[in-house]
Amino acid sequence: MLNKIVKLKDGVEGLFVKNERFNTTSISFNFYLPLKKETVAENALLPFILTSCSKKYPSFSALNYKLNKLYGARLDASTEKYGDCQLLRMTVSVIDDRFTFDSDSLVKQASELLLGLIFAPSVEDGAFLENDVEREKRKAIEHIKGEIAEKRIYAKNRLLSEMFKDTPYGLPKCGTVEDVEKTDGKSLYKAWENMLSSAFVRVQVVGASLPNRFFEDIAEKFQNVERSNITDCKFCLPAKPTEKPKTVFEKMDVKQGKLVMGFSSEMYGDDDMSLPLMVMCDIFGGGPYSRLFSNVREKMSLCYYCSASSVRYKGLLTVDSGVETANAEKAQNEILNQLEIIKRGEFTDFEFQSSVKSICDSLNTYYDSQNSLDLWYALKINNQNLYSPKDIAEKIKKITREDVILAAKGVKLHTVYKLLPKEGPIC
């Protein structure tokens, strides 16, 4: 595998990840914009409306016909939250040129199709068309309501909104239902102009080879765009320090309570600074060998589920669990006790070695999916060095018990969120 970054223009770069394992080539346009309450909903809608139609292909059926002519090429769109930024992704996947008889490169044609969707959308008089806007708004509202209905996701989102209150990371990645409802064709058009002019952009290609003048042709498209105030997506603040952990209660019509705990970490930033936190978090609440699973869930039966995860560049560690109301306080105390055990270095060699092996095995699975590999690099934009999953696996193998203990000692409880049934006490 060979990785090569090419600067196309200020704030625009191309990345080629050479991998001959896949029969297709993936091309993704990744736009990084600041997370702001005023623009979060419009930005979140953009990837979906842009990949549904354009001036050249004004309907989905016309666009789908073109994709079928490209041997069944596939378009995908998503909105992610990346640190204090929103990541807008538009991807096309097409059969690699090695397996076609066309004289023109299919990869190049797929790239030109995606460029046309992004740079020449279906708009009139400085606004996206009402039917297209209403369709995407309806889908977005259904997605947001779906996350609210899924209480495990809802509880974790509520924790983040409290832990990162009045900061960008506390915002939901797609905005609220009210935010989406306020969006119209003109505000969406303004968001599109802002995306092209101020987003940090990375165009990524994962495949066997790069067609001639591939990135040069993309660079020419951006030459016609006036760029300014380009997003600094490497700027990312950890959680604000707190003298005393905050606890937030909420009651709903649920049968199973949710206990979600947010921790701040003194260890944060890119892979060169925060990898020990990954191992520490996995020993704490990763697989079936972890402290939380084997003790809090299995031995003590205090939770239906109990696991930990981290967002290392934010210095964030979260524990989420499903609990009975009567066990909520006991579970919280035992989760904190297990953290103290790791801080004292009283975890076993089996737990440490199992964690390292599990993480390395998980990193190797990125090579099984082209989309996963593409997303890996899209979510590494803040790193000083462009490490592959295999590079990180080798670094993980060198982490020591002392590194894990040091990482654990910097982890402190910040916020607790409890979602409890309407009937019953608050505990």
For helices 271-285 and 401-409, give the axis angle rounded to 10 degrees.
90
Q: What is the pLDDT of residue 237?
A: 80
**Among 30, 8, 67, 52, CA closest to 221:** 8
In the structure encoding, which two tokens stand for residue 343, read together? 């801080």
Taking 60 as the threshold, does the pLDDT of residue 264 lie above it? yes
Q: Where are the alpha helices (DSSP H) in 150-239?
A: 151-163, 177-182, 185-198, 214-223
In single-letter form, the type of residue at position 205 comes to V
Is 333:340 a contact under the CB 8 Å cutoff? no
For residue 94, report the phi and psi dihedrals to the nearest 5 degrees: -140, 155
Domain 246-421 belongs to what topology?
Answer: Cytochrome Bc1 Complex; Chain A, domain 1 (3.30.830)
pLDDT tens for 120-168 read 999 999 999 999 999 999 999 999 999 999 999 999 999 999 999 989 9
pLDDT per position as a tens digit, 18-44:
999 999 999 999 999 999 999 999 999
Q: How far apart are the first and last CA of the chain?
A: 53
Q: Which two tokens stand for residue 298?
A: 């299995």
Widest Cα–Cα separation across the chain: 71
Region 300-326: mean pLDDT is: 96
Does residue 216 register a pLDDT over 70?
Answer: yes
The 3-state secondary structure of 231-264, one letter per residue: CCCCCCCCCCCCCCCEEEEEEECCCCEEEEEEEE
Render pLDDT for 329-364 as a digit per residue (tens, 0 to 9): 999 999 999 999 999 999 999 999 999 999 999 999
Domain with CATH 3.30.830.10 in the chain: 2-223, 246-421
Residues for the chain: how many in total? 427
Question: How far apart (Å, rounded) are the C-alpha atoms in residues 216 and 218?
Answer: 5
- Residue 364: other Cβ atoms inside 10 A: 12
Query: Which residues on adjacent β-strands are paired with residue 86?
Result: 33, 81
For residues 325-329, average pLDDT: 94
pLDDT reported for residue 426: 64
3-state helix, strand, coil in the chain (%, to 5): 45, 25, 30
Spacing of C-alpha 270 from chain mean position: 15
Confidence of residue 382 (pLDDT cuts 50, 70, 90): confident
Q: Predicted confidence band at 203 (pLDDT cuts at 50, 70, 90)? A: very high
DSSP string, 355-381: HHHHHHHHHHGGGG-HHHHHHHHHTTT
Confidence at residue 427, expressed as pLDDT on a 0 to 100 scale: 59
**Residue 333: CB atoms within 10 Å:** 12
Residue type, 317: L
pLDDT higher than 60, residue 1: no
DSSP 48-96: HHHTT--SSS-SHHHHHHHHHHTTS-EEEEEEEEETTEEEEEEEEEEE-
Element (H, E) at 333: helix 328-343
User: DSSP assignment, residue 294?
Assistant: I
CB atoms within 10 A of CB 358: 19
Residue reference for tokens 């707190």: 242
Nearest to 319 by CA among 336, 341, 302: 336
CATH class of the domain whose range is 2-223: alpha beta
- 74-118 pLDDT, tens digit per residue, is 999 999 999 899 999 999 999 998 888 777 889 999 999 999 999
d(CA 170, CA 311): 13
Helices and strands in the chain: count of H runs, count of E runs: 15, 13
Q: What residues contact 124, with CB distance under 8 A and at least 6 apart?
A: none
For the chain, the average pLDDT equals 94
The helix (H) or strand (E) run that includes residue 11 is none
pLDDT at position 3 over 80: no
Write out the two tokens for 240: 């604000």
Instruction: Please say whether the beta carbons of 204 and 372 come within 8 A.
Output: no
Residue percentage of the chain with pLDDT more than 90: 88
Nearest one of 60, 219, 29 to 132, comparing CA atoms: 60
